[in-house]
Amino acid sequence: MPELPEVQTVINTLKDSGLLNKAITNVSIYKIKLLKNASPRQFQKFLVGEHFIDIERKGKFLIFHLSHKKTLVIHLRMEGKLFYEPNESEVPKAHLRIEFVLNNKHTLRYYDSRIFGTFHIYRDAEYLKAPQLTKLALDPLDINFDWKYLKNHLFGSSRAIKTALLDQTSVSGIGNIYADEILFLSRVHPLRKPSTLTDSEFKLLAKNSTLILKKAIKHGGTTVSSYKWDPTHYGGYQNLLLVHTKKDQPCPTCRAKIQKIKVNGRGTYFCPRCQK
DNA sequence: CAGCGTGTTGAGGA
DNA sequence: TTCCTCAACACGCT
């Protein structure tokens, strides 16, 4: 369930595992639908022979910088996973969709049960002009992100604050799980209109957004595999969740029962006593 | 067996 | 135009 911390965990793990400087010797595509701006042949030709130079993140997008100023942009959407594995992995896994065979007896494999992920290739800095990336707002880890930025981008919206927090063009990187946690820690009810929030509530929301995402990265994300070769190793933040998935359990602050409602179609958990 | 869901886009409505 | 809502995407799980 990749939100910003999970995407950052993918980057950290792939870098640690030694993907950088490895060259792609072959690309196998089992689900053409994943490629959004190239045919399989174009995609292969574009990538084979190039090596990985760096990996960065914009919002929840992964940006792989390759040799010859080429760029591969991947979004994991709901279920996408990237594992750096030995070529011969013992157990053939389900949902293998794309393989990048490398020049060191390892393969970067993309798994995605629902095939919602997206792959784009770009030359030079063309990726910077892709609408999906230019529209993105700052994320709460950005050096220029602060409560005033958050207020400016949310205040005019007539939607529920939770819906606004999930809008990647208002603030990026936050998904359904962390939105619930941020609102709980800030003691803000998910259905509040942004125009009713005080400055001190915006300050709390901004501070807690940064805090929670940083802490989640430190713990390797939530419920997503750690992206080591062993996919049974899970992110540690799921053990630290305070309200998300806690329906009918006591609020960690006041012991009232956590409620689950729908906000804009998304399952939303909150404490009816703490969050006003 | 029907319903639900972690994220995003795009069609359509107000 | 601008802002917003909701269905769709494809599949596993409950």
| pLDDT higher at A255 or A124 | A255
Choice among A19-28, A30-39, A261-270 with the minimum mean pLDDT: A261-270
| pLDDT higher at A90 or A42 | A42
Q: Which two tokens stand for residue A219?
A: 């713990």
| pLDDT higher at A91 or A106 | A106
Question: Are residues A145 and A178 in contact, defined by beta-carbon separation less than 8 angstroms?
Answer: no
- Å: A202 CA to B12 C1': 33
Through-space distance between the first and last CA atoms of chain A, rounded to whole angstroms = 28
Q: What is the pTM of this model?
A: 0.91
Categorize the per-residue pLDDT at A224 as very low, low, confident or very high, splitting at 50, 70 and 90: very low
Measured CA to C1', the nucleotide nearest A77 is B7
| pLDDT higher at A51 or A264 | A51
Tell me how far apart the 2 most distant CA atoms of chain A are, in Å.
59
**What is the per-residue pLDDT for A263?**
86
Length of chain A: 276
pLDDT higher than threshold 70 for residue A90: no
Which one is catalytic: A58, A60, A81, A97? A60
Per residue in A233-251, pLDDT (tens digit) is 556 666 678 888 888 888 9
* Chain B footprint positions (protein CB, under 7 Å): 4-9
Closest residue, CA to C1' of C9 = A116
- Å: A80 CA to C10 C1': 13
Question: Are residues A9 and A227 in contact, defined by beta-carbon separation less than 8 angstroms?
Answer: yes
pLDDT higher than threshold 70 for residue A223: no
**Cβ neighbours for A190, distance < 8 A, ≥ 6 positions apart:** A160, A161, A162, A179, A180, A183, A261, A263, A268, A270, A275
Is A166 near strand B, with its CB below 7 A from some atom of it? Answer: yes
**What is the per-residue pLDDT for A227?**
43
Backbone angles phi, psi at A236, to 5 degrees: -90, -10
Categorize the per-residue pLDDT at A112 as very low, low, confident or very high, splitting at 50, 70 and 90: confident
**What is the per-residue pLDDT for A203?**
95
Mean pLDDT (chain A, rounded): 87
Per residue in A40-67, pLDDT (tens digit) is 999 999 999 999 999 999 988 999 999 9
Is A120 near strand B, with its CB below 7 A from some atom of it? Answer: no
A255 is catalytic: no
